[in-house]
Structure 1
């Protein structure tokens, strides 16, 4: 698959997520507001850097086979300056923990996301 097709699929998935979040927020604004506030605090700089937190989130996303979170947190890793090597090592740790399911996402979805999204950084 060429880079343009991958880019549009990743961007489309991110757009679908944002649209779904917007619809959910319209229906349950207080729940969405509280969830967003909670996650913002969780991802703030602290003893762990924002980059480290995104790498952890990526590993958990892979281990739980959550495609949207995998895309979202691969982007988060790139946005926080994670290198390809750091992202791939995170994928390796997730695969060691979650086995083949995590590895299958790492060798496909994460690499596609890095390829598509890295051109924007």
Structure 2
């Protein structure tokens, strides 16, 4: 876990991409690889970084495009996660 934590810090480091963009990329990958806990985690991260529902929706469209049909179902879960998290603000 320590090594994974260090890798996470390294991935979030750098300045070429802002934090919101990195979270949106992570969310797209989460949908494409069908990782439910990852979807929830990175949806929340994207919201905290300032991503709008529209930005998340466009990100999910790219994930579906790259992940094919099964990603459609996971993209729906990511939008549901956004709506639930945003309602709790």
Distance of 1:40 and 1:120 partners within structure 2: 27
Which segment drifts farther, 64-73 or 44-53?
A: 44-53
Q: Provide structure 2 residue ranges, at least 5 long, that are not aligned to the other structure.
A: none
Equivalent runs, 1:25-104 vs 2, <5 Å? 32-104=1-73
- Report the structure number with the largest CA radius of gyration: 1
Compute the displacement of 1:45 (Å). 4.9
Aligned length, in residue pairs = 89
Compute the displacement of 1:118 (Å). 1.0
Note the aligned Cα RMSD (angstroms). Answer: 1.2
Q: Deviations over 1:31-89 (max 9, x none)?
A: x1121011012013510001000000000001001111011101110010001000000
Query: Could you say what secondary structure the match of 1:47 adopts?
Result: coil
Moved over 2 A (4+): none
Distance of 1:41 and 1:91 partners within structure 2: 24
The alignment's TM-score, normalised by the length of structure 1, stands at 0.69
1:116 maps to 2:53: no
The alignment's TM-score, normalised by the length of structure 2, stands at 0.92
